[in-house]
């Protein structure tokens, strides 16, 4: 796991070595074990690459930036790479058969380098793993950037508009390395910032800054290094990826269980083997991480598992993690946190969240990563299991939606009574309380477009509700198109490019590409990298993904419960009490803490003076939300936390405070 960055000045200029080293330093937390810089020669003296290394595989070799092994004056390709290619040995054997000479014994970076020399960007669909890479094609005067198909590793680009029109192109694993560059404009993209309040993150390909954008998962982009007038306009293209129903699955349910179980076992084994450092498992006690732990225990006799718990029993899962650890025979480590730990870590995390980010589970994720890093350098987790196998309660609602809608009209006036009755329920600040779930469900049932429906399930967000949050003089600057429009494009891509067979497939794609890739995986990346730890996700193995997306709805949701097939896989591995337990997210008691330990921070950052001075939010609306939450008239934890994270981000650096 590493950090990568690069800077391209105008042709004829010379990239500054000191600037390259400053970019590398900004990514030091991603790679504490080493730093490398490459600068082009002659006609490419305006191009530079930087790399920070966290040594995981090929500890003695694999240094980056890596170039092909001819004389420096004849270099054809220079590469920086973040991630892990799990099929690099197969790629290596094929390339050796085509005459390529390898210097290292088992460097996946060298396999990537030589694969690009042989195949160019046609190599991307052949890669199995997590990656973001940048390659300078010295002969063709091109910069090639790519990101893995599930979006596990981040990569953001900044073009001339980011630099106030100056002909400059830059990229980095994290925005911090771009923000420090001279002559940048510092203009906030107002519409992208507004969408942050809809999604809890800025969705791909947008960035919080004007002139910067993220490469979408499964895309590659090429820049002509001699034509800076195209650097703001070059578009990425998909390099080929998974499709719904793309692989044949057995007709027998039991056989499908066996095939998925075997694929998961192979994925876990590969992620244990491709490391020359200690490896552990993040264990929540939920079915996904528990399956990973049980499979990992098959392949090692010294498995270390790690969990985090809360003193609030409605959020604590540590007892389930202990049950699984005893069952699989791991050496288990548990860390219980309280409000003090939250207060201590929030400011620290702010330095690593270069964009506003409001998924509050980033806090326990960081605490868990920091705790695990005391003993291991790599940790496997269960990310992707819910999205691929229908684990969220919203998937169950989606599967039931047609009959529910058929019955609702029969209620007539009773529908309004039902809505009023739900709103009249006592407001609870417990995790996923009944009133919270019912309100979200009723919010979304009537929406016809699948991804918009699920956004209502998740956040209760409509365009009108979102716009009402913002200061009146800012609303006119918002994009005239509604703030949820990225969902409509995702729906089109799901159907036209990935072969979605029905609304359930469209929803699955939306969770994978937006909620998982732009939200959950970036949370995990930022939190683990801040702790100097690499996270790996066996559920997102290419073969597991292809199998999961070829299953039918009944394999995922049955009898009002999700993960039907995955539970059958788990029954051969885990106690029945774990298989049958209720779904629970990895969160923290935000609603209560906003009125408790976090109340002073809420009063400071969301007080009228700060909100008015910031100029983005409507102070009257903020004041009302705080008052209603404090008096338990409503549970506004999501909006208040988002606003708190926005204000923390706005004061993170002087440049972030400039007027939007």
Question: pLDDT by residue (tens digit) across 291-348?
Answer: 999 999 999 988 999 999 887 776 778 899 999 999 999 999 999 887 777 778 876 6
**Rounded CA separation 660/85 (Å):** 40
Would 532 be classed as within a structural domain?
yes
Do 303 and 179 belong together in one domain?
no
Structure token digits, residue 216: 């979408």
Q: Is the dihedral of CA 422, 423, 424, 430 positive or negative?
A: positive
Query: What pLDDT shows up at residue 74?
Result: 79
Q: What does the buried/exposed string (b/e) look like for 355-364 if buried means 16 or more CB atoms within 10 Å of the residue's CB?
A: bbbbbbbbbb
Residues 219, 146: contact at Cβ < 8 Å? yes
**Rounded CA separation 65/51 (Å):** 6
Q: How far is CA 413 from CA 403, 410, 422, 444, 532, in A?
A: 19, 9, 15, 19, 57
Element (H, E) at 495: helix 485-496
Do 357 and 272 belong together in one domain?
yes
Would 623 be classed as within a structural domain?
yes
Query: What pLDDT shows up at residue 275?
Result: 60
Q: How far is CA 205 from CA 212, 245, 280, in A?
A: 9, 26, 32
Asked if the peptide bond before residue 435 counts as cis, ω within 30 degrees of 0, the response is no
Do 301 and 346 belong together in one domain?
yes
Q: What is the DSSP letter of 286?
A: S
Do 564 and 609 belong together in one domain?
no
**Rounded CA separation 614/659 (Å):** 8
Helices 414-423 + 393-411 axis angle, to 10: 130
pTM of the predicted structure, to 2 decimals: 0.91
Q: How far is CA 642 from CA 5, 97, 194, 202, in A?
A: 29, 54, 11, 12
Query: What pLDDT shows up at residue 339?
Result: 72
Do 133 and 227 belong together in one domain?
yes
| Residue among 577, 587, 589 nearest 287 (CA) | 577
Query: What pLDDT shows up at residue 351?
Result: 61
Do 129 and 16 belong together in one domain?
yes
Q: CB-based contacts of 501: which residues, under 8 Å, 6+ apart?
A: 244, 245
Which residues are registered as beta bridge partners of 66? 79
**Rounded CA separation 44/137 (Å):** 10
Residue 153, SS3?
Answer: coil
Other beta carbons within 10 angstroms of residue 469's beta carbon come to 22
Would 492 be classed as within a structural domain?
no
**Rounded CA separation 32/424 (Å):** 53
What is the domain range of residue 166?
A: 2-238
Which residues are registered as beta bridge partners of 534? 378
Question: pLDDT by residue (tens digit) across 517-560?
Answer: 999 999 999 999 888 899 999 999 999 999 999 999 999 999 88
Residues 358, 645: contact at Cβ < 8 Å? yes
377 phi and psi, to 5 degrees?
Answer: -110, -20
Would 447 be classed as within a structural domain?
no
Residue 285, SS3?
Answer: coil
Burial of 340 (0-12, 13-18, 19+ CB in 10 A): exposed
Exposure on the CB side of residue 197, measured as CA atoms within 13 A: 24
Q: How far is CA 551 from CA 156, 258, 393, 566, in A?
A: 33, 13, 18, 11
User: Residue ranges of the alpha helices (H) in 98-130?
Assistant: 108-119
**Rounded CA separation 657/187 (Å):** 10
| Residue among 179, 170, 198 nearest 479 (CA) | 198
Query: What pLDDT shows up at residue 230?
Result: 94
Place of tokens 């998974």: 242
Strands (E), 494-570: 534-536
Do 41 and 160 belong together in one domain?
yes
Residue 7, SS3?
Answer: strand
Domain boundary among 579, 607, 627: 579
Helices 362-372 + 339-350 axis angle, to 10: 90
Query: What pLDDT shows up at residue 8?
Result: 98
Exposure on the CB side of residue 601, measured as CA atoms within 13 A: 20
Would 404 be classed as within a structural domain?
no
| Residue among 148, 382, 150 nearest 264 (CA) | 382
Asked if the peptide bond before residue 205 counts as cis, ω within 30 degrees of 0, the response is yes
Domain boundary among 552, 579, 606: 579
Burial of 576 (0-12, 13-18, 19+ CB in 10 A): exposed
Do 128 and 275 belong together in one domain?
no
Q: Which residues of the chain have pLDDT under 50?
A: 410-415, 422, 425, 431, 434-435, 654-660
Domain boundary among 181, 210, 238: 238
Strands 534-536 and 378-380: parallel
Q: How far is CA 329 from CA 302, 318, 509, 536, in A?
A: 9, 16, 36, 21
Q: What does the buried/exposed string (b/e) look like for 176-207 if buried means 16 or more CB atoms within 10 Å of the residue's CB?
A: bbbbbbeebbbebbbebbbbbbbbbbbbbbbb
| Residue among 69, 141, 208 nearest 645 (CA) | 208
Q: At 78, which CATH number?
A: 3.60.20.10
Do 94 and 20 belong together in one domain?
yes
Q: At 286, which CATH number?
A: 3.40.50.620
Would 614 be classed as within a structural domain?
yes
| Residue among 626, 635, 590 nearest 422 (CA) | 635
Do 24 and 151 belong together in one domain?
yes
Burial of 420 (0-12, 13-18, 19+ CB in 10 A): exposed
Place of tokens 């010379």: 14
**Rounded CA separation 247/499 (Å):** 12
Residue 172, SS3?
Answer: strand
Would 246 be classed as within a structural domain?
no
Do 34 and 153 belong together in one domain?
yes
User: How many Å separate Cα 258 from the centre of its chain?
Assistant: 29
Do 103 and 207 belong together in one domain?
yes
| Residue among 519, 512, 521 nearest 494 (CA) | 512
Structure token digits, residue 139: 């002969």
CA angle 229, 232, 235 (to 5 degrees): 115
**Rounded CA separation 395/502 (Å):** 13
**Rounded CA separation 544/348 (Å):** 35
Residue 359, SS3?
Answer: coil
Strands (E), 316-365: 331-337
Would 507 be classed as within a structural domain?
no
282 phi and psi, to 5 degrees?
Answer: -75, 120
Q: Domain count of the chain?
A: 3
337 phi and psi, to 5 degrees?
Answer: -120, 160
């Amino acid at each position: 796991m590493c950090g990568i960055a690069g800077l391209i000045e105008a042709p004829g200029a010379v990239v500054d070595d000191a600037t390259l080293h400053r970019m590398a330093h900004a990514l030091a937390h991603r790679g504490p074990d080493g730093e490398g810089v490459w600068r082009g020669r002659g006609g490419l003296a305006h191009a530079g690459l930087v790399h920070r290394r966290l040594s995981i595989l090929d500890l003695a070799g694999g240094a980056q930036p890596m170039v092909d092994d001819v004389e420096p004056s004849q270099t054809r390709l220079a590469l920086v790479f973040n991630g892990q290619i799990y099929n690099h040995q197969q790629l290596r054997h094929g390339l050796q058969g085509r005459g390529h000479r390898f210097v290292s014994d088992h460097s996946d970076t060298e396999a990537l380098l030589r694969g690009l020399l042989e195949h160019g960007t046609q190599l991307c669909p052949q890669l199995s793993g997590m990656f973001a890479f940048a390659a300078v094609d010295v002969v063709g005067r091109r910069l090639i950037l790519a990101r893995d198909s599930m979006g596990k590793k981040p990569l953001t680009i900044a073009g001339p508009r980011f630099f106030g029109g100056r002909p400059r192109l830059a990229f980095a694993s994290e925005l911090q390395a771009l923000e420090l560059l001279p002559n940048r404009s510092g203009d906030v993209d107002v519409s992208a910032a507004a969408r942050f309040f809809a999604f809890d993150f800025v969705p791909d390909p947008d960035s919080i800054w004007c002139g910067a954008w993220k490469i979408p998962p499964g895309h590659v982009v090429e820049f002509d290094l001699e034509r800076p007038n195209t650097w703001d306009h070059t578009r990425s293209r998909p390099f080929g990826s998974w499709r719904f129903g793309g692989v044949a699955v057995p007709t027998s349910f039991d056989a499908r269980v066996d095939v998925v179980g075997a694929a998961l076992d192979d994925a876990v084994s590969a992620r244990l083997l491709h490391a020359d450092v200690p490896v552990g498992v993040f264990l929540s006690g939920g079915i996904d991480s528990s399956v990973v732990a049980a499979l990992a225990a098959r392949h090692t006799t010294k498995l270390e598992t790690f969990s985090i718990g809360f003193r609030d029993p409605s959020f604590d899962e540590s007892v389930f993690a202990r049950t699984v650890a005893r069952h699989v025979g791991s050496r288990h480590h548990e860390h219980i946190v309280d409000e003090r730990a939250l207060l201590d870590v929030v400011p620290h995390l702010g330095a690593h969240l270069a964009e506003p980010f409001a998924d509050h589970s980033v806090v326990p994720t960081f605490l868990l990563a920091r705790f695990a890093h005391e003993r291991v350098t790599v940790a496997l987790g269960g990310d992707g299991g819910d999205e691929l196998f229908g684990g969220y309660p919203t998937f169950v609602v989606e599967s039931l939606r047609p009959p529910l809608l058929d019955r609702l009209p029969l209620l007539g006036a009773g529908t309004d009574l039902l809505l009023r009755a739900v709103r009249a329920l006592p407001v609870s600040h417990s995790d996923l309380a009944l009133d919270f779930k019912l309100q979200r469900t009723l919010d979304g049932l009537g929406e016809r477009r699948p991804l918009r429906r699920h956004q209502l399930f998740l956040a209760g967000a409509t365009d009108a509700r979102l716009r009402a949050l913002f200061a009146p003089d800012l609303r006119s600057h918002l994009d005239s198109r509604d703030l949820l429009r990225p969902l409509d494009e995702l729906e089109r891509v799901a159907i036209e490019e990935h072969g979605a067979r029905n609304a359930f497939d469209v929803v699955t794609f939306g969770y994978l590409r937006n909620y998982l890739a732009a939200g959950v995986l970036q949370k995990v990346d930022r939190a683990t990298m801040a702790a100097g730890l690499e996270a790996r996700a066996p559920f997102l193995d290419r073969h597991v993904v292809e199998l999961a997306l070829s299953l039918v709805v009944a394999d995922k949701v049955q009898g009002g419960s999700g993960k039907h097939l995955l539970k059958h896989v788990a029954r051969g591995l885990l106690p029945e009490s774990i298989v049958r337990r209720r779904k629970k997210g990895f969160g923290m008691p935000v609603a209560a803490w906003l009125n408790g330990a976090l109340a002073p921070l809420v009063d400071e950052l969301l007080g009228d003076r700060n909100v008015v001075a910031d100029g983005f939010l409507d102070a009257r609306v903020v004041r009302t939300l705080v008052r209603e939450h404090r008096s338990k008239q409503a549970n506004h934890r999501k909006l208040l936390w988002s606003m708190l994270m926005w204000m923390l981000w706005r004061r993170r650096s002087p440049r972030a405070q400039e007027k939007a």
